[in-house]
Amino acid sequence: MAKNDITIFDDGIAIPGSKRHAVHAGRDTAIIVGELVFKDLGSRYVTAWTPGGAASAVKPQFGTDYLVGLAVSTSTETTTADGVVDVMPISPGITFLVDVGTAATWDTQAEYNALVGDRIKLNYAATTGKITALSTDYIYNGAVVEPLDIAVHPGKVRFSLTQRLMYTN
């Protein structure tokens, strides 16, 4: 994944403080700034989102993905020692920007506006290492398309993450 694939859209919003979480030793790659961070219930360790198999992985989905927040530091684990990463919890009202998946789906303001409010997933492509927005609405998807002026932010999707995804809920 590229650093800062997902960025905070809202300027001036009060961002809550980050919390330090344990990262298990031996990860293939460090958790980096701007990555969504997840947790398996019952584990003390957090994990980064990694592409699935040879193709891609899509997240977030209720009941499967338990979100901790957005990494605001790079994790410090090594191949033999556990480390830590600072993670900003996702608060209601914070929205994010991410690249569109298929440009033709989002390339006019009317098309974009028709998708506002849809519950979508994000795709992490193994081949490119990029996270992009998918446009299929599904009741268990945890990212919600928010209004955006695409003339000001071409090729981007503004989204929020629902509180039902949080591992503490």
Under-70 pLDDT residues of the chain: 1-4, 10-16, 51-56, 169
**What pLDDT does 17 receive?**
76
**What pLDDT does 14 receive?**
46
pTM above threshold 0.75: yes
Residue 10, class by beta-carbon neighbours within 10 Å (0-12 exposed, 13-18 middle, 19+ buried)?
Answer: middle
**What pLDDT does 54 receive?**
52
**What pLDDT does 15 receive?**
52
**What pLDDT does 145 receive?**
96
**What pLDDT does 5 receive?**
75
Q: Which of 22, 145, 143 is nearest to 85 (CA)?
A: 22
- Structural domain spans, the chain: 7-165
**What pLDDT does 76 receive?**
92
Distances (CA, A) of 76 to 8, 86, 140: 23, 10, 33
List, in sequence order, the alpha helices (H) in the chain. Answer: 103-106, 109-115
